[in-house]
Amino acid sequence: MMTELDQSYVDRIIPERAAEANKNDFGRVLCVCGCAGYTGAAYFAAQGAVRMGSGVVTLATPERAWPVLAVKLNEPVVRPMPCGADGMLSREALPALLSLAEKADALLIGCGLGRSYAVAEIVVTLIENAKCQIVLDADGINALTAHKDILRQAAQPVILTPHAGEFARLSGLENPQQGELTLFARKMGCILLYKGHRTLIAAPDGRLYRNHSGNPGMAKGGSGDVLAGMLVSLCGQGLDPVDAACAAAWLHGRAGDMAANARSEYGMTPGDLLHFLPDLLKRYNTREW
Ligand SMILES: NC(=O)C1=CN([C@@H]2O[C@H](COP(=O)(O)OP(=O)(O)OC[C@H]3O[C@@H](n4cnc5c(N)ncnc54)[C@H](O)[C@@H]3O)[C@@H](O)[C@H]2O)[C@@H](O)CC1
Ligand SMILES: Nc1ncnc2c1ncn2[C@@H]1O[C@H](COP(=O)(O)OP(=O)(O)O)[C@@H](O)[C@H]1O
């Protein structure tokens, strides 16, 4: 059965922030993202998590990307990781990544990681070992093309956020029908957030959701990275993963609609999603300050 996502659905999911709360109440998320060529993707993901309300965001990124990202990002903790001559994470990064993942409440892997054998080994090893909720995006998904059975070994259902190209690469399915998405989620024991004009979310138990916010102004490189950061943030704050996927998809699209109304579909940027998200989230203030 299909559930249509709207504002009232999401309003029921987003919790009040307790007045006496401290940063530990809002989750520590780890983003394993970026490489020498893709610093923007790591920036958007980490800032998406910050703007969605995480207590502490850590970005682990190859040391070649680190000088750029350490300057671009103020709120996240930015950790340099061993990298190869290709500017991507190398196998030597694994011990540090596993140790950081142990302390995380939720883990995002993939935005701008690039593609290599070492990256694939790192993605697989993190999925095998991490105990917390995992969100897999972009090159994190690409890394599983030859290893997708590993999804069944994760401690909890992994959330995958492919666009059509990434899903086709992973599953071999072009233009999948709704039933095929549900079947994939069930067979692989994962939560699928299939991005597009009307993003669909398929849960392993057969539930299916359709998002109605968002517009073609968001069809620009970087928009998906913001979504991945928002989603891992909600997971780290303790939301049920299917609820987190539904809420992130709708809020991300709605922030995009606010950006389009203010700045045009043509001229708006993924950075504008980060800019308008706080205005949208004002509705979850429970008090006047
Ligand atoms: N500023 C940055 O650093 C950015 C880095 N990015 C990173 O770049 C890497 C490559 O990602 P891309 O998505 O660009 O490229 P991909 O390597 O996923 O390839 C895109 C190809 O997939 C196919 N495709 C089919 N349907 C598609 C759809 N709905 N959307 C997009 N492509 C579709 C097309 O043939 C297209 O050529 C990822 O790691 C990503 O995170 C992007 O997020 C863009 C911004
Ligand atoms: N025409 C559209 N209508 C609604 N949402 C869109 C549209 N085009 C793109 N989006 C949204 O923008 C995001 C694009 O993500 P993605 O394809 O991963 O791009 P990237 O990885 O380059 O950031 C997705 O969340 C998608 O749902």
In a domain, 215, yes or no: yes
Q: How confident is the model at residue 87 (pLDDT cuts 50, 70, 90)?
A: very high
Measured distance CA(180)–CA(173) in Å, rounded: 8
Measured distance CA(86)–CA(71) in Å, rounded: 22
In a domain, 21, yes or no: no
pLDDT for 129 beyond 90: yes
In a domain, 239, yes or no: yes
End-to-end CA separation in angstroms for the chain: 42
Question: For residue 136, what is the domain's CATH number?
Answer: 3.40.1190.20
Q: Are 157 and 188 in contact (CB under 8 A)?
A: no
177 C-beta neighbours (distance < 10 Å), count: 9
**Eight-state DSSP code of residue 51:** H
Instruction: Report pLDDT for 15.
Output: 95
Instruction: Report pLDDT for 119.
Output: 98
User: In angstroms, how far is CA 21 from the centroid of its own chain?
Assistant: 24
Of 183, 129, 180, nearest to 156 (Cα)? 129
In a domain, 73, yes or no: yes
In a domain, 167, yes or no: yes
> Residue 80: which H helix or E strand, with range?
strand 77-81
Of 49, 56, 14, nearest to 233 (Cα)? 49
Instruction: Report pLDDT for 1.
Output: 82
For the Cβ of 225 lying below 6 angstroms from any atom of ligand 1, the answer is yes
pLDDT for 288 beyond 90: no
Percent pLDDT > 90 in the chain is 98
Protein residue with least CA distance to atom 12, ligand 2? 218
User: Can you give the residue range of the structural domain that contains 81?
Assistant: 2-11+26-282
In a domain, 266, yes or no: yes
Calculate ∠ Cα 135-138-144, nearest 5°: 80
Asked if residue 197 belongs to a known ligand binding site, the reply is yes
Span 246-260, average pLDDT: 98
Average pLDDT, the chain: 97
Number of domains forming the structure of the chain = 1
Measured distance CA(265)–CA(207) in Å, rounded: 32
pLDDT for 203 beyond 90: yes
User: In angstroms, how far is CA 99 from the centroid of its own chain?
Assistant: 20
Instruction: Report pLDDT for 153.
Output: 93
Span 60-86, average pLDDT: 98
For the Cβ of 224 lying below 6 angstroms from any atom of ligand 2, the answer is yes
Task: Please state the ipTM of this predicted complex.
Answer: 0.97
Q: Are 69 and 42 in contact (CB under 8 A)?
A: yes
In a domain, 111, yes or no: yes
For the Cβ of 254 lying below 6 angstroms from any atom of ligand 2, the answer is no
Say what angle helices 39-51 and 270-281 make with each other, to 10 degrees.
0
Asked if residue 112 belongs to a known ligand binding site, the reply is yes
| Residues 42-51 pLDDT 10s | 999 999 999 9
**CA 98–ligand 1 middle distance (angstroms):** 27
pLDDT for 287 beyond 90: no
In a domain, 123, yes or no: yes
